[in-house]
Amino acid sequence: MSRIERLISSMTLAEKLGQLTMTASSYAVTGPVIAGDSTDAIKAGTIGNLLNMVGAEHVREMQRLAVKESRLGIPLLIGFDVVHGHRILFPVPLAEAALFDPETWALTAREAAKEASAEGLAMTFAPMLDVARDPRWGRSVEGPGEDPWLAARIAEAKVRGFQGPRLAAADALAACAKHYCAYGAVTAGRDYASVDISERTLREVHMPAFAAAVASGVAAVMPAFTDLAGIPMTANKALLRGWLRDRWGFKGVIISDYNAIAELMRHGIAADLAEAAAHALNAGVDIDMMADAYRRGLPIALQRKLVTMAAIDESVRRVLTLKEQLGLFDDPYLRGRTPESAAAFSGRRKLARAVAGRAIVMLKNDGETLPLSGSLRRLAVVGPLADAPGEMGGPWWGAAGRVGHVSVTAGLREMLGESHIQHAAGVAIDDEDVSGIDAALDVCASADAILLCLGEAADMSGEAASRAHLGLPGKQRQFAQAVFERARDLRKPVIVILFSGRPLVVPWLMDQADAVLAAWFLGSEAGNAIADVVVGRLSPSGRTPVTWARATGQIPIFFGERSSGRPADPKDHYTSKYLDAPNEPQFPFGHGLTYGRFTLFNLRVTPVNAEDIDTLQIRVDVRNEGARAAEETVFLFTRDKVASVARPLLELKGFAKISLPPGESGTVALSLRAGELRFLGLDLEPVFEPGEVEILVGPCADRSKLLSATVQLSWSRPC
Ligand code: BGC
Question: Domain of 615: which CATH number?
Answer: 2.60.40.10
Q: 671 phi and psi, to 5 degrees?
A: -130, 155
- Same domain for 318 and 393? no
One-letter amino acid identity for 468? A
- Closest residue to atom 2 of ligand 1, CA basis: 257
- Same domain for 452 and 391? yes
Span from the CA of 257 to the centroid of ligand 1 (angstroms): 6
CB 589 within 8 A of CB 131: no
Q: What is the pTM of this model?
A: 0.97
What CATH number has the domain bearing residue 95?
A: 3.20.20.300
- Same domain for 43 and 181? yes
- Same domain for 536 and 415? yes
Q: 103 phi and psi, to 5 degrees?
A: -65, -40
* Ligand 1 atom showing the smallest separation from residue 126 Cα: 10
Write down the number of H helices and E strands in the chain.
20, 26
Instruction: Note whether residue 168 is domain-resident.
Output: yes
CA atoms within 13 A on the CB side of 560: 21
Query: Alpha-carbon distance 121 to 611, whole Å?
Result: 48
291 C-beta neighbours (distance < 10 Å), count: 27
- Same domain for 538 and 631? no
DSSP of 404-435, one letter per residue? SPPPHHHHHHHHH-GGGEEEE--S-SSSS--T
- Closest residue to atom 12 of ligand 1, CA basis: 81
Domain end residue (candidates: 552, 570, 586): 552
Say what the pLDDT of residue 35 is: 53
What CATH number has the domain bearing residue 521?
A: 3.40.50.1700
One-letter amino acid identity for 632? E
- Among 286, 266, 264, 294, CA closest to 276: 264
Instruction: Note whether residue 646 is domain-resident.
Output: yes
- 257 among known catalytic residues: yes
171 lines ligand 1 (CB under 6 A): no
Query: Alpha-carbon distance 630 to 203, whole Å?
Result: 38
Q: Is 367 left (phi over 0), alpha (psi -120 to 50) or beta?
A: left
How distant, in Å, are the alpha carbons of 8, 65, 224, 512 from that of 228? 34, 40, 9, 42
Span from the CA of 661 to the centroid of ligand 1 (angstroms): 45
One-letter amino acid identity for 242? G
- Among 663, 649, 661, CA closest to 706: 649
- Same domain for 318 and 407? no
463 lines ligand 1 (CB under 6 A): yes
One-letter amino acid identity for 331? D
125 lines ligand 1 (CB under 6 A): yes
Instruction: Note whether residue 180 is domain-resident.
Output: yes
> For the purposes of burial, counting CB atoms within 10 Å of the CB of 190, is it exposed (0-12), middle (13-18) or buried (19 or more)?
middle
- Among 564, 529, 536, 519, CA closest to 394: 519
How distant, in Å, are the alpha carbons of 189, 243, 558, 655 from that of 227? 14, 16, 24, 34
Say what the pLDDT of residue 716 is: 87
Instruction: Note whether residue 103 is domain-resident.
Output: yes
Span from the CA of 125 to the centroid of ligand 1 (angstroms): 7
Q: Which helix (H) or strand (E) holds 698?
A: strand 691-698
Say what the pLDDT of residue 616 is: 98
Say what the pLDDT of residue 345 is: 94
Query: Alpha-carbon distance 52 to 75, whole Å?
Result: 17
Span from the CA of 92 to the centroid of ligand 1 (angstroms): 16
DSSP of 458-521, one letter per residue? GGGSSTT---S--S--TTHHHHHHHHHHHHHHHT--EEEEEE-SS----HHHHHH-SEEEE---
Domains contained in the chain, number: 3
Chain-centroid distance, C-alpha 393: 14
Q: CB within 8 A of 396, min separation 6: which ones? A: 81, 83, 84, 92, 142, 462
191 lines ligand 1 (CB under 6 A): no
Instruction: Note whether residue 331 is domain-resident.
Output: no
257 lines ligand 1 (CB under 6 A): yes
Q: Is the dihedral of CA 41, 43, 44, 48 positive or negative?
A: positive
Query: Alpha-carbon distance 521 to 70, whole Å?
Result: 43
- Closest residue to atom 8 of ligand 1, CA basis: 257
- Closest residue to atom 11 of ligand 1, CA basis: 258
DSSP symbol at 390 = G
| Domain membership of residue 96 as a residue range | 3-259+312-325
- Same domain for 538 and 652? no
Span from the CA of 625 to the centroid of ligand 1 (angstroms): 47
DSSP of 536-589, one letter per residue? TSS------SSPBPSSGGG-S--TTPBPPSS---TT-SSSS--SSS-SS-SB-T
- Same domain for 320 and 370? no
* Ligand 1 atom showing the smallest separation from residue 176 Cα: 10
Query: Alpha-carbon distance 121 to 529, whole Å?
Result: 29
Domain end residue (candidates: 282, 304, 325): 325
Q: Which helix (H) or strand (E) holds 329?
A: none
- Closest residue to atom 5 of ligand 1, CA basis: 258
Q: Which helix (H) or strand (E) holds 309?
A: helix 309-325
* Ligand 1 atom showing the smallest separation from residue 179 Cα: 9
178 lines ligand 1 (CB under 6 A): yes
- Same domain for 482 and 616? no
Strand partners of residue 601: 621
Would you call the peptide bond into 144 cis, given omega within 30 degrees of 0 as the criterion?
no
210 lines ligand 1 (CB under 6 A): no
Q: Mean pLDDT per segment of 10 residues, for the chain of length 719 residues? A: 96 98 64 61 96 89 95 97 96 98 98 97 98 98 98 99 98 98 98 98 98 98 98 98 98 98 98 98 98 97 98 98 98 96 96 98 98 87 98 92 94 95 98 98 96 98 98 98 97 98 98 98 98 97 98 98 97 97 98 98 97 97 98 98 98 98 98 97 97 98 98 84
Span from the CA of 109 to the centroid of ligand 1 (angstroms): 18
- Same domain for 506 and 409? yes
Instruction: Note whether residue 304 is domain-resident.
Output: no
Q: Which of 134, 147, 171, 257 is catalytic?
A: 257
- Same domain for 524 and 624? no
Instruction: Note whether residue 582 is domain-resident.
Output: no
Domain end residue (candidates: 552, 585, 607): 552
- Same domain for 181 and 245? yes
Span from the CA of 693 to the centroid of ligand 1 (angstroms): 42
How distant, in Å, are the alpha carbons of 143, 260, 389 from that of 462? 10, 18, 18
Say what the pLDDT of residue 719 is: 54
Strand partners of residue 655: 635
Rg (CA), the chain: 26
Instruction: Note whether residue 391 is domain-resident.
Output: yes
